[in-house]
Amino acid sequence: MATVPLDMTLVINVTVSGSVDANNVMTISGFSFTPAACVPPAKQGAVIVQQNGDIDLTKMTGGTDFTEGTDIYFVLSGEITGPTGKVFPIFFEPPANRAVTMAIMGSGTGVPGFNPILPGTGDNSVLLIDDLDRSHKRYKYTLHLLSYVNPAAPAKGVIDPAIVNRGDGID
């Protein structure tokens, strides 16, 4: 019986720190991206995820058991300090289509093939990008974050690394 190929999976821990001032303006003072899991395992010595958040999907191994698609899970943690010194959690901005945006970097054309999902149970600390694209192009992705320092008007911030997509064998 033939097996159906599965998407590759990449889990990335995203740690963010920052503050919100008295005018409800968020400043991201630091962030880091750390790979937590990769299925199938990364190529020997390959760095798929940079600390600044850049992701190079060409560094993932493939094979006949996997499709060219990649499910990228971002697991968000960290704290935002409010104007009075109180600490608040940080979340991805709902709904999922506002939690992430993508655009081609440089002079390329086309539309990134991705489907964002907030699969969590309501806390919006996990974002799944179902990456469908195989164009071997470089995309800038922007993660849209918010914190409920002021529940009536959540403060918003962004971080914007890059993704290099896997090619289809034709460069």
What pLDDT shows up at residue 166?
62
Q: Where are the domains of the chain?
A: 6-164
Q: Which fold has domain 6-164?
A: Immunoglobulin-like (2.60.40)
Any idea which residue has 């003072």 for tokens?
29
Whether the pTM exceeds 0.85: the reply is yes
pLDDT digits (tens, 9 = 90+) for 19-36: 999 999 999 999 999 999
Rounded distance between C-alpha atoms, residue 145 and residue 18, angstroms: 11
